[in-house]
A = this chain, B = another copy of it.
Amino acid sequence: LRAVDVAQATGVSTATVSRALRGLPGVSAAVREQVVRAAAELGYRISHSASSLASGRTMTIGIVTPYIDHWYFGQVIAAAEREFAAAHYDVLLHSLPDNDARIRFFQQLPPRDRVDALLVLIVPDDDELAGLASLGVPIVSVFGGPTPLPSVGIDEEGAVSTAMRHLIELGHRRIATIGRTGADPMRFSTPHLRRTAFRAELRSAGIEPDPTLEVDGDYTVPGGAAAMNALLALPERPTAVFAQSDEMAIGALGSLSRHGLSAPHDVSIVGIDGHDMAAAVGLSTVAQPVQELGALAARTLVQLLVDPSMAVPGRTELPTSLIVRDTTAPLSGTPRPGHRHADGVAGPLAVTAVGSRAE
């Protein structure tokens, strides 16, 4: 079923059909109504490829993300997709979870010719940036660090500072961090930023950073558990842990429990993210407005599309907020690293992950 059919049924030309259906000016109300009605009755739909070929517009926005199945990216993508759908844009999704996928993607640049704009969630290196720029479409990115692209994100230093000051004000001075210390195959900027900020925050509190208190948690739940295991094996344990993501923090809580320890009794733990599960396990954390980040980036992109003459924005940072729950507490005199619960629980090892405000 083509535009000609609607044109014949209405007694007008295909050009008028096109104008009428797209709401363009230059069509009398009467004709427009007839055309719209006829199209509806016939069940006519514009052919996307023909329309794109003729107009150069695709009404599609590409999202380039490292992961779909990670909490943070899922939240951002979902919020962005909602905005795009509201603006009548479809979403083409590209996930680059490993280096192979990433290399293939940048060799072929599949969005070429297929999208009107790009929402970028990976941190591109210079070559990748050049590749993306060569597509000649507006780009907005969502992530932590400084970047040549227009971006939205949070103030990473500020978020780390909030978490650290919380611990320091509680009297903690022997503070460990769980983050990424090794190589980062995905080249995220966040791990480096947060680690650097962690050290800076210690120094400004007059505490000299201790390298043995910086351990790798791979930004995953099991990684966080392994990291906490390592910290617990230290001759002199930390009294507080700043986990650079809630997932690592939750892994750390699990590790604690398997050692018969608990937060905040044996060690205070604070995370970053505002993960759904953080509320369930009572984790204190610095929440970032993930959905707002995705929505704002998406809206910016849509505006850029509506008004191409608009000034390209720089970076926008959204506020984070400290949520104190039950895994952080004042340093109580002497830490009791070897303490074990005497609660007669039936399970093999008692965990004390404390919760509140979850409902």
A residues sitting closer than 8 Å to B (CB atoms) are: 45, 47-50, 52-53, 58, 60, 63, 67-71, 74-75, 77-78, 81-82, 85, 90-95, 97, 101, 104, 109-110, 112-114, 221-222, 225-226, 229, 250-251, 253-255, 257-258, 262-265, 276-277, 279-282, 326-327, 329, 332, 341-356, 358-359
Contacts and interface: CB of A to CB of B under 8 A. Distances in A.
Contacts of A229: 359
A87 to B, nearest CB: 13
B352 A343 contact: yes
A161 to B, nearest CB: 25
A93 B68 CA distance: 12
Contact of A67 (B78, B341, B345, B353): B78
Contact of A81 (B53, B93, B358): B93
A281 B265 contact: no
A281 B353 contact: yes
B359 A265 contact: no
A92 B84 CA distance: 13
A221 B279 contact: yes
Nearest to A349: B354
A254 to B, nearest CB: 4
A265 B263 CA distance: 20
Nearest to A54: B49
Contacts of A67: 78
Contacts of A255: 355, 358-359
A262 B263 CA distance: 16
A226 to B, nearest CB: 5
Nearest to A251: B280
Given A82-B95, A254-B359, 6 more contacts: A82-B97, A221-B280, A251-B359, A258-B356, A342-B342, A345-B354
A101 B114 contact: no
A59 to B, nearest CB: 9
A119 B352 CA distance: 42
27 contacts: A49-B53, A49-B58, A68-B77, A70-B74, A81-B95, A82-B101, A85-B101, A91-B93, A91-B94, A221-B276, A221-B358, A222-B279, A222-B358, A222-B359, A225-B359, A229-B359, A250-B280, A258-B355, A258-B356, A264-B347, A265-B344, A265-B345, A281-B281, A326-B349, A327-B347, A341-B343, A352-B352
B90 A110 contact: yes
A104 B87 CA distance: 12
Contacts of A349: 326, 354-356
A356 B352 contact: no
A123 to B, nearest CB: 19
